Chains A and B, each alone.
Chain A
């Protein structure tokens, strides 16, 4: 039996939305689906390493790099962010309820063989370079996404 496929486009750069994407991805992997998450625009920040990586950048790219969250754990919330208090509160509640933090969900997804794909065009726009993103991810564009999505049983845009 051929494996079913799930594809997710992660466009958003907020902690809660990325969490939803990664919970579905992990669930789909447990469902024995072949799972791909395409990260584009603000969703690319989920793939950033939390340490600063020295790379050559233009002034604008440097500004972008500073203004965007460096890594999944530094993302804000899409609602009730309260200038950074929101994420602190939700992380406490998550701990209480034993929900997995986003960085752990991403690691779990990689362990489960979920394909993490970074959109190269938006990487250029936001000035993000391969060295700044997690290891063992793929780089692609819209055609690669459509190739997967046209065979997808579940296709989501988050």
Chain B
């Protein structure tokens, strides 16, 4: 999926992935896609909840070799 911005949050521990995601999302406009890469095992639950609360959409996610990738559409 084509992203407007890619955030590398690999190796970061809670709560950093969500803080960085919030900052990165703030630089996008509504409808644009943010790709987040993380290795924190809680990232899926965290980002799903965070996106829902902020009115964003988790369009898709994938996992490969322990790296979770998420595509979030800004609401």
Could you list which residues of chain A lie within 8 angstroms of chain B, going by C-beta atoms?
23, 26-27, 29-32, 97-100, 108, 112
Contacts and interface: CB of A to CB of B under 8 A. Distances in A.
Contact of B15 (A23, A32, A97): A23
B13 A99 contact: yes
Give the 10 A-B residue pairs with the shortest CB-CB distance, closest first.
A30-B22, A99-B13, A27-B15, A30-B18, A30-B19, A26-B15, A98-B13, A23-B15, A98-B11, A97-B13
Given A30-B50, A32-B54, A23 B22 contact: no
Given A30-B50, A31-B50, A31-B54, A112 B19 contact: yes
Interface string B30-66: 0000000000000000000010011000000000000
Contacts, number: 33
Contacts of B50: 30-31
Interface residues of B, number: 13
A30 B21 contact: yes
A29 B26 CA distance: 13
A30 B15 contact: yes
B12 interface: yes
Contacts of A97: 13
A26 B13 CA distance: 13
Nearest to B12: A98
29 contacts: A23-B14, A26-B15, A26-B19, A27-B15, A27-B19, A29-B19, A30-B15, A30-B18, A30-B19, A30-B21, A30-B22, A30-B50, A31-B18, A31-B22, A31-B50, A31-B53, A31-B54, A32-B22, A32-B53, A32-B54, A97-B13, A98-B11, A98-B13, A99-B13, A99-B14, A100-B13, A100-B16, A108-B19, A112-B19
A23 B13 CA distance: 11
